[in-house]
A and B are shown apart, each in its own frame.
Chain A
Amino acid sequence: MRTHLTEKQEHAWQTALKLVEEDHAATIGEVATQAGCSPASITLLARRLGYAGWPELRRSIIRHAAQPAMSATLTQDGLLSQIRELLLDHADEAIFVHGAGDGTFAACYLEAALLSHGFACLPYTRQTLLAQARRSKPGILFVVNETGIVLADDARIARELGYAVIALTGNPASPVAHLATIPVIIRSNKSKPESYEPDFFCARAMTFTAYLKAGLPYLFETSITDSVALLDLKKTEDTM
Chain B
Amino acid sequence: MAEEVPAELSATDQVILSTLNYHISRSEFVRVSTIAEECNVSKSTVVKMAKKLGYSGFADMRDTLSVGRADEVSETFLPLDTTEDGDIIAAAERLAQLFWERRSAKHVLMSDTSIVGTILPSYLARKLAMFDINAVSTYDYEAIILKDSKPGIALFFEHNIDPKAGTGIFTLSVARPHFRLARQLGYLTVLVSDVTKETPASQLADKVFLIKPSYDLRCDLFMPRTIMLFELMLSELSRLAGQEAPFEEEAEA
Check if B78 sits within 8 Å of A204, measured CB to CB: yes
Q: In the assembly, what is the distance between CA of A200 and CA of B2, in Å?
A: 30
Contacts of B203 in A (CB 8 A): none
Known contacts A108-B118, A240-B173; A27/B234 CB under 8 A: no
Is the Cβ of A239 less than 8 Å from the Cβ of B176?
Answer: yes
Task: Judge whether B64 and A173 touch: CB under 8 Å.
Answer: yes
Which residue among B20, B69, B77 has the maximum number of chain A CB atoms within 10 Å of its CB?
B77
Q: Which residues of B contact A153 (CB under 8 A)?
A: 8-9, 13-14, 17
Q: Are A172 and B68 in contact (CB under 8 A)?
A: yes
**A90 CB–B CB distance under 8 Å:** no
Chain B residues with a Cβ closer than 8 Å to the other chain, count? 74
User: With A23-B2, A211-B77 as given contacts, are A229 and B172 in contact (CB-CB < 8 Å)?
Assistant: yes
Contact with A along B3-26 (1 / 0, CB 8 A): 101101100011001101100111
Cα–Cα, bound, A197→B233 (Å): 10
B224 and A229 form a contact (CB under 8 A)? no
> Which residue on B lies nearest to A197, using beta carbons?
B235
A residues 166-212 near B (Cβ < 8 Å) are 170-175, 178-179, 185-200, 202-208, 210-211
A9-17, A31-39, A59-67: which lies at the B interface? A59-67
In the complex, the chain A residue whose C-beta lies closest to that of B122 is A105
CB neighbours (8 Å) of A71 from chain B are 74, 76
Task: Kindly list chain A residues whose C-beta atoms are within 8 Å of the C-beta of B77.
Answer: 76, 186, 204-205, 207-208, 211
Write out, one digit per residue, whether chain A residues 28-55 have a CB within 8 A of any chain B CB (1) or not (0).
Answer: 0000000000000000000000000001
The reply to whether the CB of A236 lies closer than 8 angstroms to some CB of chain B is: yes
- Interface presence of A91 (CB below 8 A): no
Tell me if A198 and B119 are in contact (CB < 8 A). Answer: no
Pick the interface stretch among A117-125, A130-138, A144-152: A144-152
In the complex, chain B residues whose CB is within 8 Å of the CB of A211? 77, 219
Inter-chain contact A229/B161, CB cutoff 8 Å: yes
Question: Interface code B168-206, partner A: CB below 8 Å = 1, 0 otherwise?
Answer: 001111011100000000000000000000001000000
Asked whether A198 lies within 8 Å of B113 as measured between CB atoms, the reply is no
- Report how far A186 CA is from B63 CA in the complex, Å: 19
- Per the bound structure, the CA–CA distance linking A214 and B118 in Å amounts to 21
Cα A173 to Cα B231 in complex, Å, equals 25
Q: Report whether A175 and B223 are in contact in the complex, using a CB–CB cutoff of 8 Å.
A: no
Q: Complex Cα distance A42/B79, Å? A: 44
Check if B223 sits within 8 Å of A109, measured CB to CB: yes
Instruction: Check if A101 sits within 8 Å of B25, measured CB to CB.
Output: yes
Name A179's closest neighbour in chain B (CB-CB): B5
Contacts of B56 in A (CB 8 A): 25, 27
- Could you tell me if B65 and A173 are in contact, using CB atoms closer than 8 angstroms? yes
Q: Is B243 an interface residue (CB 8 A)?
A: no
B228 neighbours in A (Cβ, 8 Å): 198, 200, 203
A225–B214 alpha-carbon span in the complex (Å): 17
Query: Which of B17, B64, B242 counts the most A-chain CB atoms under 10 A from its CB?
Result: B64
Q: Are A156 and B9 in contact (CB under 8 A)?
A: yes
Q: Across the interface, which residues of A come within 8 angstroms of B113, CB to CB?
A: 232, 235
Contact of A206 among B59, B122, B161, B223 (CB under 8 A): B223
Cβ–Cβ contact B227 & A192, under 8 A? no
The residue in chain A whose Cβ has the minimal distance to the Cβ of B1 is: A24
Query: Is B237's beta carbon under 8 Å from chain A?
Result: yes
Residues of the A chain whose Cβ atoms lie less than 8 Å from the Cβ of B220: 210, 213
Which chain B residues border A149 with CB–CB below 8 Å?
A: 17-18, 20-21, 24, 65
- Selected A-B contacts with CB under 8 Å, 30 pairs: A24-B1, A25-B54, A62-B64, A67-B68, A76-B77, A105-B122, A150-B18, A153-B9, A153-B14, A179-B6, A185-B76, A190-B25, A192-B26, A192-B27, A193-B130, A194-B238, A200-B73, A200-B228, A203-B224, A203-B231, A206-B223, A207-B77, A210-B220, A213-B219, A229-B114, A233-B171, A233-B172, A236-B173, A236-B175, A240-B175
A residues lining the B interface (CB < 8 Å)? 23-25, 27, 55, 59, 62-63, 66-67, 71, 76, 101-102, 105, 108-109, 112, 146-150, 152-153, 156, 159-160, 170-175, 178-179, 185-200, 202-208, 210-211, 213-214, 225-226, 229, 232-233, 235-237, 239-240
